[in-house]
Amino acid sequence: MLGSLLTLVFVLVFNFFLFRVVQADPIASLFRGRNVPQQTIDDLRTSFGLDEPALTQFAYYLRETAQLNLGISYQSRQPVWDEITAAVPATVALVGISAILSAVIGTVLGIVAAWRRNTWKDHAITSGTMVFYSMPDFWLGMILLVLFAVVLGWFPVGGIVDAGSTATGMARLLDQAHHIFLPALTLTLAYLGEYALIARSSLLDVMGEDYLVVARAKGLRDAVVRNRHAVPNAVLPVVTLTAINFGFVLSGAIAVEAVFSWPGLGKATADAIRGPDLPMLQGLFLLFSASVIVFNLLADLAYLWLDPRVEEV
């Protein structure tokens, strides 16, 4: 827990200097290529406190961040915290569903592949999941978009609801489910291989342990040996991977959200980079880092519950 806290403090400091010091004049960058009076640029620089010394800006940044005041967006002129909280539900829905599906399906496939090692099932599962895992997720998303949305017309090409839709209740929920299917399928397929490979490797390591030999010698059925003795002891690496990926839920999938015009944190990040929108980028970077740190901590704490032997080490 102390290590997690120190990491978060480092991220907080690094977050300031990365965007405030490396990007020497974000206001000038915001209006690059435009004919804007210098007085207007100077007034904006003053209103955002960018004309103060770096240490003064840093002290102000720490005080405001502690109060969850992440500044005002350069582009929308709205509070960054409000912009982020408005985008969080869409990202949590998309990447959360994808993370759960890829974790469950990928782990099951990995277990089947390991238990049927060197058979056609093992080769088919490993090769198939690795094909999807090797594809860039945005490229896979574009392939699915062209095939199912443009050619077949089964799904919409983007957004979270139909443009101009006034549906409410169950009708609106079904509309959102129709829109989320393709981006969720993209992320699920993209990360299946990761879970399948780790689950397979972990189970293969466990299968050589003595307690499985004893379980078989007791006359237990193969399915019981696998489900009751082998699998529970092989899920620790999968738990770590799941926790890390859930940490990335808030960061979303920037490229996939951009491909499908999904109004979440990924799309907000892409828009802020194009700005560049300094306060928005700072707020998003801090949120993404904190989510990864917290979920890594939860994974470490969950180890004690899943495997008491960790405490003895």
What percentage of the chain exceeds 70 in pLDDT? 77
For residue 33, with 0-12 CB atoms within 10 Å meaning exposed, 13-18 middle and 19 or more buried, which class applies? Answer: exposed
Three-state SS for 209? coil
Q: Report how far Cα 148 is from the mean position of its chain's Cα atoms.
A: 24
- Note whether 283 and 246 are within 8 A (CB): no
Convert the pLDDT of each residue in 89-120 to its tens digit. 888 888 888 888 888 898 888 888 887 888 88
Three-state SS for 260? coil
User: How far is Cα 161 from Cα 282, in angstroms, rounded to an integer?
Assistant: 29
Q: With a cut of 60, say whether residue 163 has pLDDT above it.
A: yes
CA angle, residues 101, 104, 109, in degrees to nearest 5: 115
Task: Answer yes or no: CATH 1.10.3720.10 is held by domain 83-312.
Answer: yes
Three-state SS for 72? strand
Confidence at residue 174, expressed as pLDDT on a 0 to 100 scale: 83
Task: Please state the rounded mean pLDDT for residues 20-32.
Answer: 61
Convert the pLDDT of each residue in 216-243 to its tens digit. 677 767 677 666 667 777 777 777 777 7
Confidence at residue 21, expressed as pLDDT on a 0 to 100 scale: 61
Task: Please state the rounded mean pLDDT for residues 159-184.
Answer: 77
Confidence at residue 113, expressed as pLDDT on a 0 to 100 scale: 85
On the question of a cis peptide bond just before residue 276, with omega within 30 degrees of 0, the verdict is: yes
Nearest to 60 by CA among 275, 289, 279: 279
> One-letter amino acid identity for 266?
G
Domain ranges of the chain: 2-66, 83-312
Three-state SS for 188? helix
Q: Which pLDDT band, with edges at 50, 70 and 90, does 249 fall under?
A: low
> One-letter amino acid identity for 280?
M
Confidence at residue 244, expressed as pLDDT on a 0 to 100 scale: 75
Tell me which of 278 and 106 has the higher pLDDT.
Answer: 106
Convert the pLDDT of each residue in 64-89 to its tens digit. 788 888 877 877 778 888 888 888 88
Q: Alpha-carbon torsion 135, 242, 280, 2, what sign?
A: negative
Main-chain phi, psi angles of 276, to 5 degrees: -75, 140
- List the single range of 45-54, 176-185, 269-278 with lowest mean pLDDT: 45-54
Q: With a cut of 80, say whether residue 18 has pLDDT above it.
A: no
H helix count then E strand count, the chain: 16, 0
For residue 241, with 0-12 CB atoms within 10 Å meaning exposed, 13-18 middle and 19 or more buried, which class applies? Answer: buried
pTM of the entire predicted model: 0.76
Count of Cβ atoms closer than 10 Å to residue 9 Cβ:
10
Count of Cβ atoms closer than 10 Å to residue 72 Cβ:
18
Q: Alpha-carbon torsion 159, 165, 166, 170, what sign?
A: negative
- Note whether 100 and 108 are within 8 A (CB): no
User: How far is Cα 77 from Cα 73, in angstroms, rounded to an integer?
Assistant: 5
Tell me which of 289 and 71 has the higher pLDDT.
Answer: 289
